[in-house]
Structure 1
Amino acid sequence: MNFIEHLDKLIKDSGEESLFTGVVDDSTIKKFEAILGVPFPKSYKEFIKEYGTLSFCGDTYYGITGKGKDEKRIPCVLFVTQKARGQGRKFVDPAQQQEGTSKYQFVDLSASAGIDKNDMGKFLKGKGILEGKEQTYLDAAKKYNINEAYLAAHSSLETANGTSELASGININGKKVYNMYGIGAVDGDAINSGAKYAYKMGWDTPEKAIDGGAKWMSEKFINNGSYGQNTLYKMRWNPASPGVHQYATDINWAVAQTKNIKIFLIHSQIPSYHMIYLNINNFKRQEDGKKNTCFFINYFSYIVNSYWLFFCWKQSCRES
């Protein structure tokens, strides 16, 4: 089974609808390599030629769209890389994230913060469809071993304080569905794809969406036996294996989440020492030439991250 056949199988086995922008010619790929100053590995070029860019199962794989270098948004790998080079290092360097609200990136999301129904109610008050759902959050947090403050703060951010379209409910095939965490919502088609995912999961009430989303995050990230991404920092950057299995594409995602956690603590009058902090470790460097380092699924993020994470941009990846 070759590379593209393997990818096609992953898409088919997922049972999800895939979105791609279409084939790209060699000359365009060479232009992107020249602008970025790095040769793409063979596997990544095969992906671009076949798909251009790709989204499925809630993940977006960067590449080249029909607009080429003129594209000014995700999932254009040129646009994202250049933007990240200019502003990204401060978000990923743990040494620059240990003060103020940024430290909440390292809270253990699998540990309880000791929050009760009254505390949760204070935070949810005035937050649209989320208000009054405090028991649902507390039950889900206990059931799936997730920090209560994080669970509420995350959905508050994703739903614009309970007022977004996905939070308010969208009708699909005669059924109104809800999505409180943006799960399955892919860049460029977030509302439609997020609603379809909610329909597939049977989230036809706000309570089911809160509970189901908590279960999904616990199983896929926070309490996953293979990844163990139990902090916001790990969910966004996955330092154990940079470039793969990351929750979000926005480089500011983890920091944005911490601001809502701080607001939660202020509203609930809970001291920050009730939160459990993990050790802050340095980001793991992927060694040049390491086997599978350049498999396209992690290479698209490697392009985005390597320059300002590892300071080895000119040391291009070699095929294993």
Structure 2
Amino acid sequence: MKLLLLYYAKVTNDAFNKFALSSTDLELKSDDLSVYGSKMDRLSYHEVHRLLTQQKPFDAILIGDIFWDTGQNICRWGQDNKVPVFFLQHGQWIYITNKKDPKYLPTATFVYGDKIQQMMSSWEYSKRSKVYVTGNPRYDNISRNNSGEYVYFAPPVMFENVPSAANRTDRNAFDNLVSLKGIDKEVPMLIHPHYREINVPQLKDMFPYAKFADPQIDPLPLIQKSSKVLTHRNSTTVLDAIACGKMTVLMNFREKDKSFFPRGYFGEFAQESDWPSRCMTNLKSNVTEISDYEEKARPYIYLGNASKRIEGIICQWGTE
């Protein structure tokens, strides 16, 4: 069975690369939507048709987004041409208005954990697309430990470079970061800016004692070497930390908490910080080992071998 991987954005691409290394029962080919630059998310049906026709032959498609115009037109093309389209969730969903009932849906959807599947169960979406909890290939067979050399800090995005729309400013993110100034003098810190953050120089001015990692590199090896992770509740970094066995300290302070997820959502995998000083206390506190780790993590991320789960589902679909 020939599967076409449509590379898209950083988290999706990392997952597809791991999937490609693990796949043994599928014949894989790929294309990269990022070559369209600022048009990447807004390809017309005609453009999608031309792209996919040039890639023939293939039996199924795996994509990392179906909510923008491009993804919608890929799903529509799949329906028109009787080609199954599979969608791998990339990143945490922090905005769901456009996700409950899109006009065109994939044949099946692969999500991180049980909580997402449960949330989707009340949507029209789940009546029209089969939803599987598979985890994500990025975390396949990843090793866990709770010791490390530094705090890994993934800040919220202050000024986001959006490929297919106007750049976005988040004043709340800026204010929260300002309130943490000086924290880099208290603990060894590695800051890994979001790959779409425009204001990296401003981050360096805010936290002059911290080391900085290239925004484009894979965060997982950096997180594995950390003692704790500092980030915000909407970040996929929380899932990265869970996969790596690291405690997350959340910087969603009560007076400016605008997270999609409620306080306490991540249970014993994250420490909430009501105010900036509490954030520092949490960073310096001892970590308690979590028993039955994979079982307790499954509501958020199904650990293990996601690639084999996904491959098995796709291969089974090819025989029906």
TM-score interval, normalised by the smaller of the two chains: under 0.3
Q: TM-score, normalised by structure 2?
A: 0.25
RCO greater where, 1 or 2, for CA within 8 Å and sep 6 or more?
1
Give the strand-richer structure, 1 or 2.
2
Q: TM-score, normalised by structure 1?
A: 0.25
Give the helix-richer structure, 1 or 2.
1
